[in-house]
Amino acid sequence: MEHVELDDLLFDDEGLIPVIVQDADNGDVLMFAWSNREALDRTIAEGRMVYWSRSRQELWRKGDSSGHTQHWEQLRADCDGDVLLARVHQEGAACHTGERSCFHRAIS
């Protein structure tokens, strides 16, 4: 697998990059979030997922208020370097509704 440096990632005009979060154990897609460079630096240093909240305009460490933490196993960049895939070990629910995945509703 090819390796990419954080400096090679393509952040948008607001300094953000989308992150798709996947369960490392079973492959389920758990959630979608945004990160910036500081959030990624902290994620790598701490071993836990840290994101950027666009609504609150601040960093948030997944699980600080809910206890439902995400410990990353692997971070991958897509072929263009403008989307990340975070393979994580999820403790508890990933969704703020209490569901395991944010993608628990099927469109009929």
- Residue 94 belongs to domain with CATH number: 3.10.20.810
pLDDT of the residue at 52: 98
Whether residue 31 is contained in a domain is answered as: yes
Whether residue 17 is contained in a domain is answered as: yes
Structural domain range at position 8: 1-47+64-103
Tens of pLDDT, residue by residue over 3-39, are 999 999 999 999 999 999 999 999 999 999 999 999 9
Domain count, the chain: 1
What is the longest distance spanned by two Cα atoms in the chain? Answer: 42
Whether residue 80 is contained in a domain is answered as: yes
Whether residue 6 is contained in a domain is answered as: yes
Cβ pair 43, 62 in contact under 8 A: no
pLDDT of the residue at 67: 92
Whether residue 91 is contained in a domain is answered as: yes
pLDDT of the residue at 104: 95
Whether residue 25 is contained in a domain is answered as: yes
